[in-house]
């Protein structure tokens, strides 16, 4: 069973997939801040979702790439990972 995705791992994925450097502690302290504030668009989120699907070998819930905040995104991703989508 895959582990839960953390804010630190999300920040690493944002760097790898979209070239954005984001402080994971800031995201965790402000989970309702928008991805737009960090410069991440839906294409960047789509790349992150694809990376996660490849990493864990399981589909991620449809619509994850439409999440507006890190908190919502992690909720969707972690639910998908624990349920197997």
Quickly list DSSP for 60-76. PPTTGGG--SHHHHHHH
Query: Where does the pLDDT of residue 52 fall: very low under 50, low under 70, confident under 90, or very high at 90 and above?
Result: very high
CA distances from 42 to 15, 23, 25 (A): 15, 20, 22
Q: Is the pLDDT of residue 1 over 70?
A: no
Provide the whole-model pTM: 0.90
Query: What confidence tens digit (pLDDT) does each residue in 71-84 have?
Result: 999 999 999 888 86
Distance in angstroms (rounded) separating the CA atoms of residues 20 and 54 = 21
Distance in angstroms (rounded) separating the CA atoms of residues 85 and 80 = 4
Q: What is the pLDDT of residue 63?
A: 87
Count CB neighbours of 24 within 10 A: 16
- Superfamily of 7-83 according to CATH: ACP-like (1.10.1200.10)
């Amino acid at each position: 069973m895959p582990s839960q995705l953390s804010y630190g791992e999300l920040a690493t994925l944002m760097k790898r997939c979209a070239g954005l450097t984001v402080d994971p502690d800031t995201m965790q302290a402000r989970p309702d801040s928008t991805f737009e504030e960090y410069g991440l668009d839906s294409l960047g989120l789509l790349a992150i979702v694809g990376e996660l699907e490849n990493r864990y070998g399981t589909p991620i819930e449809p619509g994850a790439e439409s999440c507006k905040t890190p908190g919502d995104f992690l909720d969707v991703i972690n639910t998908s990972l624990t349920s197997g989508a």
